Amino acid sequence: MCELFAMSSTVPATVNYSLERIARHGGLTHANRDGWGIGYFEGRDVRLIKEPAPASDSPWVRFIAERELESHCVIAHVRWATQGGATLENTHPFERELAGRRHVFAHNGSLDDVEHTLPFESDRFRPIGDTDSEHAFCVLLQQLEPLRYGATEPPPLEARLETVASFAAEARLLGSANFLYSDGEVLFAHGHRRRYEEGGRMTEPRPPGLHMLSRRCAGASPEVDCDGLTVSVPKQDVALLASVPLTEDPWVALPEGVVVALKAGREVARIGP
């Protein structure tokens, strides 16, 4: 089963520790060997690194760790292919431009017959690969476009959250619809159902589909280490999202069907149970 991971923080931080853990899920301890990717937002753009190969022995993962790339918003994905081959165009996260800023999306699950159930209403966004996930992302952007992103400011949070939640409700009718999405300002996460590896076999989809860990990192020195995040200032808020808990810390399962919005390391809104 695919693995999702994301981070939102007050100021840029690295995610090397958590990246190593999710990389082990990408081929070393789990069956997710079909690709991986990670996106680091920098303002309205994103630094996206991905490849259609196991993350557990990837030189790119080691490169990222050595360079200690930082960001205030990170989205990562480790893939177990269920639709579409193990190719670069089918590797998550996916990104597109809308209103002069990059938008990034990663999905865990299967959306049956999404091409016919959620058809495109314009030619503005089209998939490059042949996954249900990328098709769904293009549909989401199609629904967000009427909100009219400004030249410098995105639409009101409430409008974006309602649109993402409406899209999530449509996706839930088609199958497992756990996803992460960000426009660089706010990180949105939808928890639904996922398969779990138990006794060498995969279970039927069941909640929870995502877990969240919120932390306030504090220290007297100008650099501290908090749950593997290298923090360059004494204090900041950090929120982590993952398919399964990555540490022994008190991760909280997201209720089935909830959509949360995170900004600067804090939950700022949610819709759902």
Q: Rounded CA gap, 123 and 116, in Å? A: 16
Identity of the amino acid at 231: V
* 53 neighbors 26 (Cβ within 8 angstroms): no
Give the distance, in angstroms, between the CA of residue 58 and the centroid of all CA atoms in the same chain. Answer: 20
Q: How far apart are CA 21 and CA 15, in angstroms?
A: 10
Asked if residue 268 lies in contact with residue 262, where contact means CB atoms within 8 angstroms, the answer is yes
Is 2 known to be catalytic?
A: yes
Closest CA to 86 of 135, 116, 51: 51
Tokens representing 201 are 């076999």
| The two structure tokens encoding residue 77 | 């994905």
* SS3 assignment, position 25: helix
The phi-psi region of residue 265 (left if phi > 0; otherwise alpha if psi is between -120 and 50; otherwise beta) is left
- Using DSSP, state whether 41 is helix, strand or coil: strand
Percentages helix, strand, coil for the chain, rounded to the nearest 5? 20, 35, 45
Distance CA 221, CA 14 (A): 17
Q: Extract the tokens encoding 152.
A: 């410098």
**Token pair listed for 72:** 């205030």
Residue in 2, 73, 138, 217 annotated catalytic:
2
Take residue 80 and report the two structure tokens written for it: 């177990």
Point out the residues that are catalytic. 2
